[in-house]
Amino acid sequence: MVRIKDIAKEANVSEGTVDRVLHNRGGVSSKTEAKIKKILESRNFSINPIASALAMKNKHTIAVLMPEYGEVDAFWKSPHLGVLKASEEIKNIGINVNSFKFNQYDKRSYKKSFKALLKIKPTSVIFVPMFLDETKQMVQQLETLNIDYMFLNVDIEGFNNKAYVGQDSYTAGYIAGKLMHLCLPEASAFLIIQSRDNVSDNNAISKRITGFDNYFILNSIKVELLSLKIEDLNNSIDSKLQIDSFLKLHSGIKGVFIPSSRISTIANCLSEDDLQKLKLIGFDNTPQNIECLKNDTVSFLISQKPFEQGYESVRIMADFLLKNKIPESKMYLPIDILTKENVMYNDVNQWMFEKEFLK
């Protein structure tokens, strides 16, 4: 491997002079600079971005903004851990990662956390764009400050984000439709259940529903697709009453599609008789959802690789900052179909990280 020392010797200059040319620091005559660049080209010399960052003491700060997690919203724990793993890997190469959390049901919390994020003067920002109007305002501020940004998990069109890292939500919904049809080829009616908190602003949910619908439309499969929107899934008594009444009114329903991570909550609202006769398909391998999968309450879960979403978003942004590597505009992760037989093998990377790092 060619070293700076070798280039300096061949050019008959100091290593510091070569270093100044490599990093465009100036202070070198045009003749000497041209000589060094010619040698660099002939020797196919390329800068090691890690060594370069360390040598220059180049410091970058990536700010990450995503929803907080808890027992109800366990999904968000995984991308947080993915961000943490990536931040541990890059902290010694001149990049710090600061995470900020917000309540995904509260626009004020979203804005408040973003305001706190700006105070650390980040080099770049990775965030989950939960609320459209507020996101427009945030993006305007970032672009005014010349701060590069990337979207995580939720893909919204019409912005200048460096990339989107997450699931192809439309295709995931299309796959859910195919799975439902394979489970119930003779069925004529399916129910899509949404909660109020993911009806209006969550673009991923709407794309999944569109994909689910289009599977039947594009394949000329005649079914009735019904929709039920529940005001507050956390109110289990009202939710049970709404779902029970709807199923009694539409007795032909054979399958239920939940385009969010709340499928375990829906399952807990169903009677034993309904659980026996309905096929349920939903998203995300949260502990509660996995339990439903294992006991055959849920037929399939579709994973959007949340741990990898967090991890890859940080690594991609780090490559951009250190190597000026422009990412693809859409960085889609694999769509995993989980059953009770294979769910234990999913997200091994997260399991290993938690075991080793979070002792």
Same domain, 174 and 208: yes
> What pLDDT, on a 0 to 100 scale, did the predictor assign at position 200?
42
> What pLDDT, on a 0 to 100 scale, did the predictor assign at position 142?
97
Q: How many structural domains comprise the chain?
A: 3
DSSP secondary structure letter of residue 120: T
Same domain, 191 and 278: yes
- Does position 22 have pLDDT exceeding 80, yes or no? no
CATH code, domain with 85: 3.40.50.2300
pLDDT in tens, 117-159: 999 999 999 999 989 899 999 999 999 999 999 999 999 989 9
Same domain, 92 and 118: yes
Least confident of 61-65, 66-70, 261-265, 346-350: 346-350
Same domain, 201 and 136: no
> What pLDDT, on a 0 to 100 scale, did the predictor assign at position 155?
92
Same domain, 216 and 271: yes
Is the model more confident about 52 or about 110?
A: 110
Same domain, 256 and 278: yes
Same domain, 120 and 194: no
In a domain, 282, yes or no: yes
DSSP annotation string for 295-320: TTS-SEEEE--HHHHHHHHHHHHHHH
In a domain, 359, yes or no: no
Q: Is 231 strand, coil or helix? A: coil
In a domain, 353, yes or no: no
Region 10-18: mean pLDDT is: 80
> What pLDDT, on a 0 to 100 scale, did the predictor assign at position 37?
86
Is the model more confident about 34 or about 202?
A: 34
Same domain, 137 and 252: no
Same domain, 128 and 201: no
pLDDT in tens, 206-256: 999 999 999 999 999 999 999 999 888 778 889 999 999 999 999 999 999
Region 79-96: mean pLDDT is: 89
Same domain, 180 and 290: yes
Same domain, 158 and 233: no
- Does position 305 have pLDDT exceeding 80, yes or no? yes
Q: What angle do CA 303, 264, 86 make, to 5 degrees?
A: 35
Burial 46-83 (b: 16+ CB within 10 A, else e): ebebeebbeeeebebebbbbbbebeeebbbbbbbbbbb
In a domain, 92, yes or no: yes
Domain around 117: 60-167+306-334
In a domain, 192, yes or no: yes
> What pLDDT, on a 0 to 100 scale, did the predictor assign at position 136?
95
Single-letter residue type at 132? L
Tracing tokens 């990412």 back to the chain, one arrives at 327
User: Do residues 275 and 297 touch, judged by C-beta distance below 8 A?
Assistant: yes
DSSP secondary structure letter of residue 102: E
In a domain, 181, yes or no: yes
Q: Which of 329, 327, 313 is nearest to 90 (CA)?
A: 313
Considering all CA atoms of the chain, what is the largest pairwise distance in Å, rounded to the nearest integer? 88
Q: What is the mean pLDDT of the chain?
A: 88
In a domain, 176, yes or no: yes
Same domain, 202 and 146: no
In a domain, 55, yes or no: no
d(CA 177, CA 173): 6
